Amino acid sequence: MFRNQIKWYWWQGIIIFLLCLFCYSISINNAFMMDDYNVFFLTMKGLRVDLSVFMQPVDGFYRPLATLVLKLSYSLFGLNSVGYHLANLSLYFLICMIFLFIVRKLFILSASDPSDPDIISKANWFTFVCVILYCVHPINNMIVNYKTACHLAVFVICMQISFWAFLSYMESKQVHFYRLSVFFYLCSLFCNEIGSILPAYLFLVAYYLRSKSFKTSLFMLWPYLLCFTFYIILWSHILIRQISGGCGLDLPFTVYMATLYELIRWYVSKLIFPKGLLFLWDVPVSGHFLFARLGGLFMFLSIIVFLYFIFIKSKKKLEIFSLTFFLIGFMPFGFAAFVYTKLTHSGFIEPHWFYFSSLGFFMLITSVLFALVKNRGHFFKIACLVGMIILLVILTRQSDLPWKNNETYCQYWIKMNPFNAAPYEYLAEDQKLLASTRGFLRSNNTKDIRKDLILLIMNDRDPAFLTKLGVAIANSGQYSMAFDALDRAITIDPRYGEAYFNLGVLMANTGKYNEAIRVWQKGEEVDPKDHRFEINILKAMALVNRGNNPN
The structural domains of the chain, ordered by start, are: 422-546 (1.25.40.10)
117 band by pLDDT with thresholds 50, 70 and 90: low
299 band by pLDDT with thresholds 50, 70 and 90: low
Give pLDDT tens digits for 176-190: 999 999 999 999 998
The pLDDT assigned to 113 comes to 63
Q: What is the mean pLDDT of residues 374-392?
A: 81
Helix (H) or strand (E) holding 410: helix 406-416
Which residues, 6+ apart, have CB-to-CB distance to 383 below 8 Å? none
- In 342-485, DSSP assigns E strands to 346-349
- The Cα 546–Cα 63 span in angstroms is 65
Query: By mean pLDDT, which of 197-201, 251-255, 512-516 is the weakest?
Result: 251-255
Q: What is the mean pLDDT of residues 358-363?
A: 91
pLDDT at 166 over 60: yes
Which residues, 6+ apart, have CB-to-CB distance to 449 below 8 Å? 440, 441
Q: How many Å from the N-terminal Cα to the C-terminal Cα in the chain?
A: 82
Q: DSSP string spanning 124-193?
A: HHHHHHHHHHHHH-GGGTHHHHSGGGHHHHHHHHHHHHHHHHHHHHHHH--HHHHHHHHHHHHHHHHH-G
**In the chain, % of residues over pLDDT 90:** 15
- The Cα 42–Cα 35 span in angstroms is 10
Give pLDDT tens digits for 243-265: 444 455 566 777 777 778 788 88
pLDDT at 69 over 60: yes
Query: By mean pLDDT, which of 56-60, 190-194, 452-456, 509-513 is the weakest?
Result: 452-456
Residue among 206, 8, 181, 188 nearest 106 (CA): 206
The pLDDT assigned to 181 comes to 94
Contact between residue 326 and residue 357 where contact means Cβ atoms under 8 Å apart: yes
Is 550 exposed, middle or buried, given 0-12, 13-18 or 19+ CB atoms closer than 10 A? exposed
Residue among 143, 437, 141 nearest 276 (CA): 141
pLDDT at 313 over 90: no
Average predicted confidence (pLDDT) for the chain: 79
Judged by phi (left if over 0) then psi (alpha if -120 to 50, else beta), residue 348 lies in beta
Q: What is the mean pLDDT of residues 304-316?
A: 60
The pLDDT assigned to 549 comes to 47
The answer, as to whether pTM is greater than 0.85, is no
The pLDDT assigned to 240 comes to 61
SS3 43: helix
550 band by pLDDT with thresholds 50, 70 and 90: very low
Give pLDDT tens digits for 73-91: 888 887 778 888 899 999 9
343 band by pLDDT with thresholds 50, 70 and 90: low
Where are the alpha helices (H) located in 192-317, listed in sequence order? Answer: 198-204, 214-219, 222-243, 253-272, 290-308
Give pLDDT tens digits for 391-419: 988 998 988 888 887 778 888 888 887 77
Contact between residue 355 and residue 143 where contact means Cβ atoms under 8 Å apart: yes
- The Cα 299–Cα 349 span in angstroms is 17
Contact between residue 457 and residue 469 where contact means Cβ atoms under 8 Å apart: yes
The pLDDT assigned to 58 comes to 74
Angle (CA) 472 475 480, round 5°: 85
Buried b (16+ CB within 10 A) or exposed e, 112-140: eeeeeeeebeebbbbbbbbbbbbbbbbbb
Contact between residue 30 and residue 461 where contact means Cβ atoms under 8 Å apart: yes
Which residues, 6+ apart, have CB-to-CB distance to 427 below 8 Å? 406, 407, 410
Strands 281-284 and 346-349: antiparallel
Query: By mean pLDDT, which of 121-125, 145-149, 311-315 is the weakest?
Result: 311-315
Give pLDDT tens digits for 39-51: 776 677 667 777 7
112 band by pLDDT with thresholds 50, 70 and 90: low
- The Cα 454–Cα 456 span in angstroms is 5
Give pLDDT tens digits for 425-467: 676 666 555 555 555 454 444 455 555 566 666 666 677 777 8
- The Cα 434–Cα 31 span in angstroms is 16
